[in-house]
Structure 1
């Protein structure tokens, strides 16, 4: 029944834009089991404690001054899909505004592709720090997708509470980055808008896209470093099992991840963490936070490959 409703929503995509976002949300949720959100008072308190403890430890280890976002939500998969439909709609709006009338067939294909992507991600995302790019105001948000956290903990045969806490530390490190660098959201938005403007003119702005990729490599790599350095329990078994799970995906799931660019995100994790590990080994963990001083202290792609170049330039 869910698949039927999903296909029907995509087939009925309407409007003048390239994507019918209402149909995207309906189709993605119809194809996705929302999962259980029966959270006990004890578990809810556990999430709150994990986030608070992660904030305190990341402040201490990273020597960063930041606060948690006002919005911290325990979600099921449909909640996450709704939040990210809104994000994608904002990001795509500049392109849609430039688009002329889109034939119905193309709109259906675009709508179906986006619904498929969000359904796949909704079944796999564990937590998300959302800087709410291109949104009005300065509010950020932190989401935990409870059904996915519990599902993956079961698959890895690890304690639910311990795994949840590890995920909380990872997401709070992103809050630390954006909180310690108030300019970071604006910098990413400007880079995205430059790339989108060039794209609507029929040009692919490789410089802007490359800069955005380098910034995201720094964002993901720093989170990986600080997640491990700040976590207040053993984590080697968690990281090993997560890495084995990634490598053990079936061919269809791996193909989907590649199409969605998730393989690239893993490369960002690995390259970024290697950069920050090298800086931390040479100058200490606190020195890695210099990256967030200003846009000028972000590493270049060459510096990520050769961390000593960044050290010589920023912290000689």
Structure 2
């Protein structure tokens, strides 16, 4: 889907609101260009998801020593479900931008909406699993899919994408699904063990987006967001190495080869969405937590989730010995 194609789809979509993005239009346009895929699971597949998630929880608890529970909301989704679940999050995060003026003819709004539709389409076709802390969401405002009854986080698996990518990588879908389950449950462990983490991210996100709505760029808030997410992704990589019941370097290598073999347009979209930065977060964060775990233990590395002051600073991420000197064993 191109931005031009998205704009055409937006023009045909039902209009809503008067902010810089027509969210109903973005959702409708993205769904119009993305096949939902099937979630008609066999009994074995349904049981496989349940078993993988449950055993990942038990194994991550054992390896990390963290006390956490799985989200009440655990969903096997198709791509349109994923769009519904995430467009509410995008809308909440960008709410401070709603006061920005658009041009009199709505051209900027149409372009913004088309760009958002492109992003949603790309992500809906590529996301495999997602731990969603439902940032900036009150219990009564968490939106589709379904009533979450005040639950403050959720776990999603986009089954059609998992099936498609497993086939393209020529790996067993059951093993690939289990790997995705372990990774997302690790994120659930981080946020479950650190009740303060969602609010910590929210405050920095609100500062960054709020300043952007006033025409300035809050580099400090953006830098703090990057530092925290580097810790989140790096710790997940550490735990995956120690908790997953099997070798998975071949899976990681095949995924990286698949990304490097993508066309220039796909690479551009990935760059615009910051997905290359996420790879850097994985590598930088994992190097930090490997050093901490080797010096102490995996359980000792998990102390970062005890309170915000124990998170590594940007400087400490590249110099873990300084964090080890600052934080007592």
TM-score when normalising by structure 1: 0.95
Deviation at 1:109, TM superposition (A): 0.5
- Is contact 1:64-1:176 (8 Å) kept? yes
Residues 254 and 289 of structure 1: is their aligned pair in 2 closer, same or farther, counting only changes over 3 Å? same
Residues 53 and 250 of structure 1: is their aligned pair in 2 closer, same or farther, counting only changes over 3 Å? same
- Is contact 2:30-2:117 (8 Å) kept? yes
- Is contact 2:76-2:157 (8 Å) kept? yes
User: Structure 2: how far apart are the matches of 1:271 and 1:65?
Assistant: 26
User: Structure 2: how far apart are the matches of 1:112 and 1:6?
Assistant: 5
2:10 paired with 1:17: no
Tell me the residue number matched to 2:132.
130
Tell me the residue number matched to 2:206.
193
2:236 paired with 1:223: yes
2:161 paired with 1:161: no
2:260 paired with 1:247: yes
User: Structure 1: how far apart are the matches of 2:133 and 2:43?
Assistant: 28
- Is contact 1:18-1:102 (8 Å) kept? no
User: Structure 1: how far apart are the matches of 2:9 and 2:163?
Assistant: 29
Deviation at 1:11, TM superposition (A): 2.1
- Is contact 1:14-1:107 (8 Å) kept? no
Tell me the residue number matched to 2:100.
99
- Is contact 2:102-2:108 (8 Å) kept? no
Within a 5 Å distance, the mapping from 1:54-69 to structure 2 comes to: 54-69=56-71
Find 1:276's aligned residue among 270, 278, 289: 289
- Structure 2 unmatched ranges of 5 or more: 140-150
- Is contact 2:190-2:305 (8 Å) kept? yes
Find 1:32's aligned residue among 22, 31, 34: 34
User: Structure 2: how far apart are the matches of 1:247 and 1:230?
Assistant: 28
| RMSD value, Cα | 1.9
Q: How many residues align structurally?
A: 315
Deviation at 1:270, TM superposition (A): 1.0
- Is contact 1:5-1:27 (8 Å) kept? no
Query: 233-242 vs 68-77, which deviates more?
Result: 233-242
Find 1:87's aligned residue among 86, 89, 92: 89
Find 2:48's aligned residue among 38, 46, 58: 46
User: Structure 2: how far apart are the matches of 1:299 and 1:95?
Assistant: 31
Tell me the residue number matched to 1:72.
74
The runs of 4+ residues in structure 1 deviating greater than 6 Å are none
User: Structure 2: how far apart are the matches of 1:95 and 1:252?
Assistant: 28
Deviation at 1:234, TM superposition (A): 2.1
Deviation by residue 1:154-206 (Cα, 9 ceiling, x = unmatched) = 11111000100000000000000000000000111111112222222222111
- Is contact 2:235-2:286 (8 Å) kept? yes
Deviation at 1:6, TM superposition (A): 5.1
User: Structure 2: how far apart are the matches of 1:288 and 1:102?
Assistant: 51
Deviation at 1:116, TM superposition (A): 0.1
- Structure 1 unmatched ranges of 5 or more: none
User: Structure 2: how far apart are the matches of 1:282 and 1:111?
Assistant: 49
Deviation by residue 1:239-273 (Cα, 9 ceiling, x = unmatched) = 22222222222222111100111111111111111
